[in-house]
């Protein structure tokens, strides 16, 4: 390492920040944390898979000008200006105990979109599972009521009995 490199890398950079949710760790926090973490330590059970579920909004962008391809001794060049092409929502499924994941792209992240995801999880991705343990955050659309908004009561109940 060149002289002074270590000193330069340890400089304070006050303009750089990291956002972090600093929780209030109380009895309720610990109880909820253990409720979520305990199943991760259990051995895999194909009849009772555990799937983490989340969503992420994403911006869709396009090029304003065609990039200039790389050439011998030259990097590809692209313009920093872009065209905004709207947004999309990514629903993410991740099986905790096996190498399986699924991304579903939708225009929205409504209760009905969530309910459709849960039906696909039960009927298409895990049709033979007795019970699918789904790990969710506390987003308002993540509720049993969402299935009743999207489907007739008997269909909503059928799906919920699998989750």
Q: What's the pLDDT tens digit per position in 138-153?
A: 788 889 999 999 999 9
The tens digit of pLDDT for each residue in 76-108 reads 988 888 889 999 999 999 999 999 999 999 998
**Beta-bridge partner residues of 53:** 93
DSSP for residue 124: I
Residue 7: per-residue pLDDT: 55
The rounded distance, in Å, linking the Cα atoms of 132 and 150 is 20
Structure tokens at 7: 């000193």
Under the phi-then-psi rule, with left for phi > 0, alpha for psi from -120 to 50, and beta for the rest, what region is 4? left
The rounded distance, in Å, linking the Cα atoms of 13 and 113 is 42
Burial 18-27 (b: 16+ CB within 10 A, else e): eeeeeeeeee
Residue 140: per-residue pLDDT: 81
Structure tokens at 50: 């555990």
Residue 102: per-residue pLDDT: 96
Most confident of 54-58, 134-138, 149-153: 149-153
pTM: 0.73
Q: Could you say which of 3.30.420, 3.40.30, 3.30.70, 3.40.50 is the CATH number of the domain covering 49-160?
A: 3.30.420
Domain ranges of the chain: 49-160
Q: Which of 160, 83, 70 is nearest to 121 (CA)?
A: 160
Q: Which of 106, 148, 100 is nearest to 121 (CA)?
A: 100
């Amino acid at each position: 390492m060149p002289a002074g490199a270590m000193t330069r890398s340890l400089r304070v950079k006050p303009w750089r920040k990291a956002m972090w949710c600093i929780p209030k760790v109380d009895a309720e926090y610990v109880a909820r944390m253990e409720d979520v973490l305990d199943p991760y330590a259990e051995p895999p059970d194909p009849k009772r898979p555990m799937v983490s579920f989340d969503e992420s909004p994403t911006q869709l962008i396009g090029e304003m000008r065609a990039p200039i391809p790389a050439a011998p001794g030259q990097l590809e060049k692209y313009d920093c200006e872009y065209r905004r092409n709207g947004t999309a929502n990514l629903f993410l499924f991740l099986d905790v105990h096996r190498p399986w994941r699924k991304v579903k792209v939708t225009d929205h992240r409504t209760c009905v979109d969530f309910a459709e995801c849960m039906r696909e999880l039960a009927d298409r991705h895990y049709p033979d599972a007795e019970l699918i343990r789904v790990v969710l955050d506390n987003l308002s659309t993540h509720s049993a009521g969402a299935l009743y908004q999207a489907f007739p009561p008997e269909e909503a109940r059928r799906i919920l009995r699998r989750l």
